[in-house]
Amino acid sequence: MSEINSSNIKEGTFAAAILKTYYPLNNVAKFKEKYAERSFKILLNPKDGQDAALITVDKGILEVEGIENQNKKNLEQDELGWDGFIQTSLELFNEIGRGNLTQSDIVKKVVARKIKIKNPKIVGKLAEMMALMDD
């Protein structure tokens, strides 16, 4: 079993919760197979939180990095090289994470500008990856 590498993630933060949720994928054979030839980064930014989480998938290995989000420069695509981005409140991230919002609910919130998404195709991989843990 691989260890969780959280050298830059403080306990009790948003990034720590994302790490705890997604890191177990590193021990799922289907995840390693499906993403063996793929590399991408997804930035999750709670606009009312202290830090953002950058999920990196590189050839079947998932890592999470905590990034201070008070300075918008820290989150720019040119700076971090992310492929997909989602920004909303901590409360909405929690609702999405618990599965309390349907796709229709999320689309309505995007239209109402309560959720900001760049490159939805990449962001959609979050759900794909979670589904692999349930198999």
**pTM for this predicted structure:** 0.88
Domain boundaries, the chain: 14-89+117-134
Q: Could you tell me the maximum CA-CA distance found in the chain, to the nearest angstrom?
A: 43
Using N-to-C axis directions, what is the helix angle for 14-22 and 90-98, rounded to 10°? 20
14/4: higher pLDDT: 14
Q: Is the pLDDT of residue 121 over 80?
A: yes
pLDDT at 41: 97
Q: Is the pLDDT of residue 1 over 80?
A: no
What would the pLDDT profile of 13-48 be if each residue is shown by its tens digit?
999 999 999 999 999 999 999 999 999 999 999 999
pLDDT at 135: 67
